Amino acid sequence: MTVVSTRTYLFNCMLNIPITTQKRIVIVGSGFAGLTLAQKLKYSGYQVVLIDKNNYHQFQPLLYQVATAGLEPRDISFPLRKIFQKFNNTFIRIAEVSKIDTQEKVVTTSLGTVHYDYLVLANGASTSFFGMKSVEEHSIPMKSVAEALVLLNSILHNFEDVLVTSDQEVRESEMNIVVVGGGPTGVELSGALAEMKRYVFPKDYRELDCSKIRIVLVEAADQLLNGMSAASSKKAEKFLQKLGVEILLSTQVVDYNGRLVSFKSGESIRTKTLVWAAGITANLLEGVPTSSVVRGRRLLCDSVNRLQNANDIFVLGDTAYITNEKWPNGHPQVAQVAIQQARNLARNFVRLKKGQPLKPFRYSDYGSMATVGRNKAVVDLPFAHFQGLFAWILWMFIHLRSIFGLKNKIQIFINWVWSYLTYDQSLRLTFLPKDFRFRTKA
């Protein structure tokens, strides 16, 4: 008979997790890393507890299409319990994790506590505002489905207000959309908004002079898509300019009060819609050793993703900081890194169970890509760089292939075909109460 301590039993009962002789792996976060790890541990012989504040996995690379009425939230979201219906060793709990106790090996959540034998932190990252409280208070980030819907509702409500006001300053601020951040999210969002300005808004708002709509992309660096090749960066810039996007490079935001965004140069732009896609910071839990926290609040790990000085805690994805000769500043905070780390860690958990040495993580960079608009994308592969129609088709194929669920794939494909044939998006609906448009709207 297995002897279980009273303290462990109480910890287990809090979240109603069955007591078993299997070692327990608690995974915090169901993003690309956490979800992949839990899936790969199906036949591992461990008990797996997956904790997330949402009951779904969201496909973040397509959030901008939700924000521009191209896709519905359900198209890029997939229920966790449906994914793990046949995983008898996996238990899902929808809760927010507040802290960890590394001495007692306990995770504290909004539902109670749970004991772990191994803890995996895959809780991702949130938007970084670089200490600018006013920007944090008034801008719209792009990290979740809810924030994407806030942006869509904000834009549509602003244009409705423009129809009934004669105040030129108000009209100007409501027709200006400023996107801060020249990475993939900012570039893709700006391109999608520019296409709405060209093909959609003139039909919906016939009384407006839609040529007055300004879409401004602001980047602090001297080029867009810093993680990609110079050729792709230049081509993306040309694509956006052709679509009518104003691009401000080497331009740093210093303040935004909900009506006026100010730059370090002293210039400013009136806008009620400032989208912040300029930086991320790792989500840090209380109880994590402060000695392990490095730049961007990431956690210093060894080559097998084990937290520094913690044999039973592993870190994946945006939160993990692993350095080597090839990546002296850590790996890029992108989905492929998270997925590959999760796969390697799943194999290492099997090795750990067998008493075998763990294998270090080695990132295989398969390339990067970004879409700018209809028939316009840029792709960097290890062996080639190309842009235009073929890059756009490849971008669609890769993203469609990565979506969970056959129904979601079909629905997205139908929406894309419809938009391509009709030059229209049919999901321009506002559901949020007017009082909840966004905290910036006074």
Query: What residues are labeled active site?
Result: 188
Burial tier of 397 (Cβ tally within 10 Å: 0-12, 13-18, 19+)? exposed
Tokens describing residue 262: 């100010």
Q: What is the dihedral of CA 234, 235, 239, 241, to 10 degrees?
A: 20
Nearest CA to 188 among 128, 303, 275? Answer: 275
Q: Give the type of residue at 36.
A: T
CB 345 within 8 A of CB 316: yes
Nearest CA to 28 among 221, 276, 283, 255? Answer: 283
Q: Which helix (H) or strand (E) holds 219?
A: none
Q: Where are the alpha helices (DSSP H) in 322-388?
A: 335-354
62-84: buried (b, 16+ CB within 10 Å) or exposed (e) per residue?
A: bbbbbbbbbbbbebbbbbbeebb
Residues in the chain: 442
User: Could you write out the DSSP letters of every residue in 82-130?
Assistant: HHTTT-TTEEEEE--EEEEETTTTEEEETTEEEE-SEEEE---EEE--T
C-alpha distance across the termini of the chain, in Å: 65
* Residues 6 or more apart in contact with residue 166 via CB below 8 angstroms: none
The owner of tokens 């007591």 is 19
Q: Which helix (H) or strand (E) holds 47?
A: strand 47-52
Measuring CA to CA, how many Å separate 402 from each of 71, 100, 277, 394, 395?
16, 32, 23, 12, 11
Q: Give the type of residue at 381.
A: L
HSE value, Cβ hemisphere, 13 Å, CA-based, for 36: 22
Burial tier of 101 (Cβ tally within 10 Å: 0-12, 13-18, 19+)? middle
Tokens describing residue 48: 């797996």
